[in-house]
Amino acid sequence: MFKVGTLSWLTLTVVFSFFLLIFLYLSSKKIYIPQIREHPGVGAIIEALGRATEMGRPVSFSPGTSDLYSTKYAGDTAAALTILGYTAREAVKKGSKFIVGIAPPTVLPVAEEIVRTAYLMEGKPEEYIEEETVQFFSPNQWGFATSYIGMMHREQVAANFLFGGHAAEAMVIAESGATVGAMQVAGSTNVYQLPFFLVACDYTLIGEDEFAAAAYLSPDPVQKGTIFGQDIAKLICALLIVLGALLSTAGIDVISKLLSK
Partner 1 sequence: MADILMVLISTTLILMIYTILYRENPAFRFGEHLLVGATVGHAIVYGVFQVRDLAWRKLQTGILTGDLVGIAYIIPIILGVLIYFQFSSKYRYISRVSIALMLAVGLSLSIRGLMSVNVIGQIKGAVNPITNIEGLVYMIGVICVLLYFVYEKRASDIVGPLPKIGRYLLMLTMGAYFANSIMGRLSIVIGTLNELLVAPAWYLIPVALLIVVADAMIRRKSV
Partner 2 sequence: MSSVWRNVTSAILFLVSLIILVEYVWVDATLQRLTTDFNNWAVVIGAFTLGLGGYSIIVRHWRMIVKRRTLWPYSVVLLVTLFTFIATGLITGSVTSPQYNWIYSAIVMPISSTLYGMNAFFIASASYRAFRARSWEAAVLLVAAIFLMLKNAPIGGVISPILPSIGTIIWDIAGATGMRAILIGIGIGTLALGLRVIIGQEKTPLGGAD
* Residues contributing to the site for partner 1 (CB under 8 A): 8-9, 12-13, 16, 34-37, 39, 71, 140, 142-143, 146, 191-192, 194-196, 198-199, 206-208, 212, 215-216, 227-228, 231, 234-235, 237-238, 240-242, 244-246, 248-249, 251, 253, 255-256, 259-260
Q: Quick one: 123 or 140, whose CB is closer to partner 2?
A: 140
Phi-psi region of 56 (alpha: psi -120 to 50; beta: other; left: phi over 0): left
Q: Could you tell me how many residues of this chain bind partner 2 (CB under 8 A)?
A: 44
Q: What is the SS3 assignment for 163-208?
A: CCCCCCHHHHHHHHHHHHCCEEEEEECCCCCHHHHHHHCCEEEECC
The single-letter code of the amino acid at 178 is A
By CB under 8 A, name the one of 124, 153, 154, 234 that touches partner 2: 234
* Residue 253 makes contact with partner 2 by CB under 8 A: no
Please report how close the Cβ of residue 248 comes to partner 1 at its closest, in angstroms.
Answer: 5
Please report how close the Cβ of residue 98 comes to partner 1 at its closest, in angstroms.
Answer: 26
The SS3 assignment for 59 reads strand
Q: Quick one: 122 or 210, whose CB is closer to partner 2?
A: 210
Please report how close the Cβ of residue 103 comes to partner 2 at its closest, in angstroms.
Answer: 14
- What letter does residue 160 receive in the DSSP assignment? E
By CB under 8 A, name the one of 26, 52, 59, 68 that touches partner 2: 68
By CB under 8 A, name the one of 30, 38, 123, 179 that touches partner 2: 179
**Among partner 1, partner 2, none, partner that 24 touches (CB below 5 to 8 angstroms by kind):** partner 2
User: Which residues, at least 6 apart from 47, have a Cβ–Cβ distance to it below 8 Å?
Assistant: 183
C-alpha distances out from residue 147 to 108, 124, 135, 150, 152, Å:
16, 27, 10, 5, 9
Q: Quick one: 120 or 242, whose CB is closer to partner 1?
A: 242
* Residue 3 makes contact with partner 2 by CB under 8 A: yes
Task: Return the ∠ at Cα 73 (arms to 205 and 185), rounded to 5°.
Answer: 25
Long-range contacts of 146-152 (CB under 8 A, 24+ apart): 147/101, 148/60, 148/62, 148/101, 148/173, 149/173, 149/176, 151/60, 151/99, 151/101, 152/60, 152/176, 152/177, 152/180, 152/182
Q: Which residues bind partner 2 (CB under 8 A)?
A: 1-3, 6-7, 9-10, 13, 16-17, 20-21, 24, 28, 68-69, 71, 74-75, 78, 168, 171-172, 174-175, 177-179, 191, 195-196, 198-200, 202, 207-208, 222, 226, 229-230, 233-234, 237
